[in-house]
């Protein structure tokens, strides 16, 4: 799920354009094979093995695929929360109960997203999650994540911090998207690990 919106520092915008151009060249087979490998890697993580509630998202287009992982988590009995974009770019949440529980929603002519079709649980529902899977375009060796620039997940991370919630923060990416450096702003927060089709990389806790 892309962060919606625009507007941040030029270095980030330039990096995003390059990464999105690479993703645009992936075939459907590339995306499908990567999704299978990503699910296998992620499901082996102790954080997900112990999780009772996971906040995730439904991938779109050439994003690293998540549906295989979501269905596997449900099969384990995990409560899976999915986001619904609000007009101010904040996120509400609903339950994932299978592909039939998803609705395709277009927001003001922007990219269509798959969102939970059932009851909304409120923006604070994410504070109940043991693991939060964050969408992204890149992560660097410090665990700093590059999102799409809309700020939706910056709000999520701020909400978690205000609530004193400390879920594991994980990002799913393609291997080449683990980069040397991501431009950092004051509000950015590192993730604990990145999962790629090739493996898992963990990052040291921030000081």
pLDDT in tens, 91-122: 999 999 998 899 988 877 667 889 999 899 99
Report whether 14 belongs to an annotated binding site.
yes
Residue 174 marked as a ligand binder: no
Q: Is 149 annotated as a binding residue?
A: yes
Question: Would the annotation count 106 as a binding residue?
Answer: no
Q: Is 100 annotated as a binding residue?
A: no
Q: Per the annotation, does 151 bind a ligand? A: yes
15 is an annotated ligand-binding site residue: yes
13 labelled ligand-binding: yes
Residue 152 assigned to a binding site: yes
At 33-92, the pLDDT tens digits run: 999 999 999 999 999 999 999 999 999 999 999 999 999 999 999 999 999 999 888 999
148 carries a ligand binding annotation: yes
What is the per-residue pLDDT for 184?
Answer: 84
* Annotated binding-site residue? 145: yes
- Given this model, what pLDDT does residue 3 score? 52
Q: Provide the residue ranges of all domains of the chain, joining segments of one domain with +.
A: 10-202
> What pLDDT, on a 0 to 100 scale, did the predictor assign at position 113?
87
| Separation between Cα atoms, residue 35 and residue 63, nearest integer Å | 9
> Per the annotation, does 201 bind a ligand?
no
CATH of 10-202, one of 3.40.50.720, 3.40.309.10, 3.40.50.10420, 3.40.50.300: 3.40.50.10420
């Amino acid at each position: 799920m892309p962060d919606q919106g625009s507007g941040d520092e030029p270095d980030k915008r330039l990096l995003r354009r390059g990464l999105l151009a690479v993703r645009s060249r992936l075939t459907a087979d590339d995306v499908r094979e990567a999704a299978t490998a990503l699910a296998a890697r992620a499901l082996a993580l102790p954080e997900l093995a112990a999780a009772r509630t996971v906040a995730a998202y439904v991938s779109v287009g050439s994003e690293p695929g998540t549906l295989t992982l979501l269905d596997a988590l449900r099969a384990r009995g995990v409560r899976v929360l999915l986001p619904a974009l609000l007009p101010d770019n904040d996120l509400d949440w609903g339950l994932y109960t299978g592909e039939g529980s998803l609705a395709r929603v277009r927001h003001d002519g922007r990219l269509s997203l798959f969102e939970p079709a059932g009851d909304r649980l409120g923006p604070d529902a994410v504070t109940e999650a043991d693991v939060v899977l964050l969408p992204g375009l890149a992560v660097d060796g410090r665990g700093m994540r590059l999102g799409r620039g809309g700020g939706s997940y910056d709000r999520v991370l701020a909400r978690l911090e205000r609530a004193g919630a400390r879920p594991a923060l994980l990002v799913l990416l393609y291997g080449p998207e683990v980069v040397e450096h991501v431009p950092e702003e004051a509000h950015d927060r590192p993730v604990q690990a990145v999962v790629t089709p090739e493996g898992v990389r963990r990052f040291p806790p921030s000081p």
